[in-house]
Structure 1
């Protein structure tokens, strides 16, 4: 077994590499839901692989090229190709009827229909960041990461993906009313309708169960589906959801830039660098890690940590600062943790900020990848800066003025009604009333990593609390679960146990009424061999080491009581988590 240090280092390296690739979401869909525990056909992790018979196609794949989808996308919608392709999924070759097309005006989509292995299930795959790219659904990257999963590896699902109405990162699309709507809510919905029409045409019957799986903006898309289209899916997995899209892409990441700047503006250089983020992280873990009762270097619930960065401030006149923080670095760290507050009322401006234990994951997002001994880095080169400026047009369309990253109003709560209120019911996905989804029999699994560097898990916790406050805790418990995973970064990676099988949990819940309780999570080495395991429990319970046996073995843990029970603190945008009626733009979705 690799040492814990080596595993953690490898996980952090992976997390940083991924963080530099996308906006607000590290992948099209969540690799953290990838793993299906166990292996072998029909035998793994409670999956009911054999309970639904395999259905064969009733027509040749090429016939799907002539399917009319104008009733879904409108004039100009068409299938561009339909052909059999082979895909290798974790070493297994599966044949798909791969259908590509466009739903007007410009929603490019792809549907992968298994040729001989379909088990009557369909899954729509979310798209991260600002999307603009079409993932390959034959690879089913939302599932297949480390463990064998027969339903996936043997082609049990029809899967579909879309670029959500635009290509690339050119910001001109964000000023187009229809493309705004396609990104906000329409693209995933009409792709799902098209996929279901293709299923009926290809197999001669409809799917028995439908699922949505996404992380980051894909998590927002997942919640948008539950709120706007409650009958589209039987089960939804929403990971690290950017449900509060506007807040996330303005104040949240903008504050990281302002906190980092030597001048307090976008004209400054970064203050905290990679090497010092590591120094800070090491000190935080030393002070607050081990809450599970094991010497695992993980923080079970960061809200119980009260670390003060000033405790590792360099002594006055120190000749070496490599193992401590300068006064300026301490100030920056505190600002990132604390978040902005209203200058007049002292009210928090955000539900939460990056949590204790996430510091190493800041590298490449809030913090440069270079060290404090290297050349200064302008804050305009920070990934957080690119996230905010990349979403300007989409967020502030219709605002009285177009703010800059320096004029958001970090200390003025009037920012919310002035700039964000108008577009809130259009693009955010924070309405807590999921009564229609529940009435339709839908099941929802929310999850978030405690060490998320992009989206604070406290936002997801507040959304869950808002659901309970709106619908009643007992009602929510009938159809929804929340898992918050120690040490896990944004949509995977980090020092925790990022390999989690939530696919089998949602299928079991939907198809066999098996209510999810504990979920085993895993660490793996570079060859995907399991090196450690740990259960997680529905929020707010935590895993507790029994005190006997190898603490790397998940069998030696039990469900522990919540370490923190207070509700999320009030903040200036709390009203955005109240029930509202979603608004539309452009061509309405059918």
Structure 2
């Protein structure tokens, strides 16, 4: 055990136990995390402006401001000393240090998309109702990962690609810990990470590269298969929704037709889990055929049916590409049945106004120079959906991807990991995360995994939240309870809220592959009406062309 974790384990408990936010399926309180004593600053906030960060970022690294102010956290005002600065050459960071409420914990908040801005958020995702967050118990850090949105050429800069791949988060975390030591006169007892999408990739990257950075990580909907995700996945979705299969074609499917499709999918597959609630507990049990919605030949009014071209497009969405010679799957997974309402704005236009663009175009165009080492990387129309094309994605796979299933170093350091994904994710297929879970089982063994990781899949929940499901959950408390209290998470209490923030439904979410089963008699909107159910689907993820990406590998650059 390293020194930091030894000190954490030996920390004196002061005060009562903290009541956890989430409950189990029956509505009982979750196991409580130890309340660490509140530590006040040992020096002035302004003194942090002189903290030397060159040992972390190199020459040119500096704090640019250190100011006190009040920030609203879930409606409650929290006083922070906010420190901003740069870690050379261009990693911008922000660290918020609580003035009156620090509980000896630090938390890094991951950045989504291609980042390029410093998150101003003080409410990390999946911390719904968490008292440690609401009360300002964490030092919070965030980063732009080495570039700004206005820097159009960042992806052509080798150093900035490295900073985006992993260095920005790691260096910012080290800086946050050094500032914590300087401000409070002591080190943090525990360090955590919470992120979703690219933030999920960042969390897994940390577990794979820097096993001692965090005691616990929540990684949601991880974009860890970065090179494939932002080339062949978004490329396939974008080109499938063009009538000629190229960016020059007319967009085929629009939101109104996607909504009609969704209604038909739910009508056909919702009952398969034993409850008609509009949600597919495991979409893999669904085998809906979009051709059942095809308009009759010669139909004059096609508003209530799918044209033959629309059926072809939808089928491509669900089925994904195959190598034309070997017939091998090119992608591990695509959008799942039940996700159709969330497609708008990604590979379906945001509204029904006629256009020749879709959101997926932007992901392919924006990541070209990050993924490929070609002097002129392939454009959307130049992508090839073949096994051979994977050779071009492997060059920077060890740099950008976070798919190494061997997390032994993180486990041995005492780290805990919670993975989660929404079944109705419109950006990243939950099948990706399931395939990674299977790779971990193969590499580390289920018994080993059970000691340090859990995975949850949320029915009807979109990318990092939203959707028709119950997207509000507190995985932060579950992680803290596990790291500090030794109690592994089980049922996670999830809720749906209305526009006013009122809870309209609650339900437990069980570790994969178990599911929540309605008891058939209680209030279907109450968590107490659900029990633990066995897996609905047990067939392993099918073979695909990039399966070797989920094999152990040496991270690069070394």
- Scaled by the length of structure 1, the TM-score of the pair is 0.89
Task: State whether structure 2 residue 420 is matched by structure 1 residue 447.
Answer: yes
CA contact (8 A) 2:124 2:194 kept: no
Instruction: Map residues 424-443 of structure 1 onto 2, 5 A cutoff.
Output: 424-443=397-416
SS at match of 2:174: helix
- Of 57, 61, 76, the residue aligned with 2:45 is 61
Counterpart for residue 464 of structure 1: 437
Cα distance in 2 between the residues matched to 1:392 and 1:336 = 22
Which residue among 364, 386, 390 is the counterpart of 1:416? Answer: 390
Match of 2:15 in 1: none
From 319, 343, 362, the equivalent of 1:362 is 343
| Secondary structure of the corresponding residue to residue 451 of structure 2 | helix
Q: Is the 8 A contact 1:143 1:152 kept in 2?
A: no
Separation in 2, partners of 1:434, 1:149: 28
Aligned residues: 535
* Structure 1: runs of 5+ lacking an equivalent: 1-34, 586-590
2:524 aligned with 1:551: yes
Q: Is the 8 A contact 1:171 1:393 kept in 2?
A: no
- SS of 2:153's equivalent in the other structure is helix
Per-residue deviation, 1:141: 4.2
Residue deviations 1:13-40, cap 9 Å, x none?
xxxxxxxxxxxxxxxxxxxxxx9448xx
CA contact (8 A) 1:452 1:490 kept: yes
The residue aligned with 2:54 is: 70
Q: Is 1:104 aligned with 2:78? A: no
For the 8 Å contact 1:108–1:163, the answer to whether it is kept is yes
Q: Is the 8 A contact 1:211 1:236 kept in 2?
A: yes
CA contact (8 A) 2:515 2:535 kept: yes
**Corresponding residue of 1:297:** 278
* Aligned partner of residue 460 in structure 2, secondary structure: coil
Matches of 2:243 and 2:462 in 1, distance apart?
A: 27
Which of 76, 88, 107 is matched with 1:92 structurally? Answer: 76
Contact 1:44 1:149 in 2 (8 A): no
Structural mapping, 1:104-123, within 5 Å:
104-123=88-107
String of CA shifts for 1:271-318, please: whole Å, max 9, x gaps: 011110001010000011144432211011111100000011111222
1:43-77 deviations in Å (ceiling 9; x for gaps):
975443x6211111111111111110000000000
**Matching residue within 399, 415, 420 for 2:374:** 399
Task: Give how far 1:91 is off.
Answer: 1.9
Aligned counterparts, 1:132-171, within 5 A: 132-137=116-121, 139-142=122-125, 147-168=128-149, 170-171=151-152
Asked whether 1:497 is paired with 2:470, we answer yes
2:500 matched to 1:527? Answer: yes
Q: Distance in 2 between matches of 1:143 and 1:452?
A: 15
Checking the alignment, whether the CA contact within 8 Å between 1:348 and 1:570 is kept in structure 2 is yes
State how far apart, in whole Å, the 2-side matches of 1:90 and 1:160 are: 18
Query: Which residue of 1 is the match for residue 10 of structure 2?
Result: none
Which runs of 5 or more residues in structure 2 are unaligned? 1-19
Q: How far apart, in 1, do the equivalents of 2:535 and 2:77 lie?
A: 44
**CA 1:169 to 1:464, structure 2 compared with 1: closer, same or farther past 3 Å?**
farther
Q: Retained in 2: the 8 A contact 1:545–1:556? A: yes
Does the CA-based 8 Å contact 1:291-1:298 persist in structure 2? no
Confirm or deny: 8 A CA contact 2:204 2:402 kept in the other structure.
Answer: yes
Q: For 1:493, what is the secondary structure of its paired residue?
A: coil
Question: CA separation in 1, counterparts of 2:93 and 2:126?
Answer: 19
Change (3 A) 1:583 1:539: same
In the TM superposition, residue 369 of structure 1 has moved relative to its aligned partner by 2.5
2:364 is equivalent to residue 377 of structure 1: no
Cα distance in 2 for residues equivalent to 1:121 and 1:291: 44
Aligned position for 2:480: 507
Contact 1:165 1:179 in 2 (8 A): yes
Aligned to 2:253: 272
Residue aligned with 2:380, SS: coil
Contact 1:290-1:300 within 8 A present in 2 as well: no
Equivalent pair of 2:126/2:473 in contact (CA under 8 Å): no
Q: Is the 8 A contact 2:424 2:467 kept in 1?
A: yes
Where do residues 191-202 of structure 1 align in structure 2 (5 Å cutoff)? 191-202=172-183
Q: Shift of the alpha carbon at 1:149?
A: 2.5
Deviations along 1:427-448, whole A, 9 cap, x unmatched?
1000100000000010000000
SS, match of residue 160 in structure 1 = strand
Find the aligned partners of 2:308 and 2:223 in 1 and give their Cα distance: 33
The answer on whether the counterparts of 1:125 and 1:161 sit within 8 Å (CA) in structure 2 is yes
Match of 2:164 among 183, 186, 192: 183
Measure the CA separation in 2 of the matches of 1:488 and 1:221.
21
Question: Contact 1:292/1:542 (CA < 8 Å) preserved in 2?
Answer: no
Write the distance in 1 (CA, Å) between the matches of 2:47 and 2:528: 51
RMSD of aligned residue pairs (Cα, Å): 1.5
Structure 1 position 401, deviation (Å): 5.7
Q: Is the 8 A contact 2:126 2:472 kept in 1?
A: no
**Deviation readout 1:207-238 (Å, 9 max, x if unpaired):** 11100100000000000000000010000000
The structure-2 alpha-carbon separation of the partners of 1:301 and 1:178, relative to structure 1 and needing over 3 Å to count, comes to same
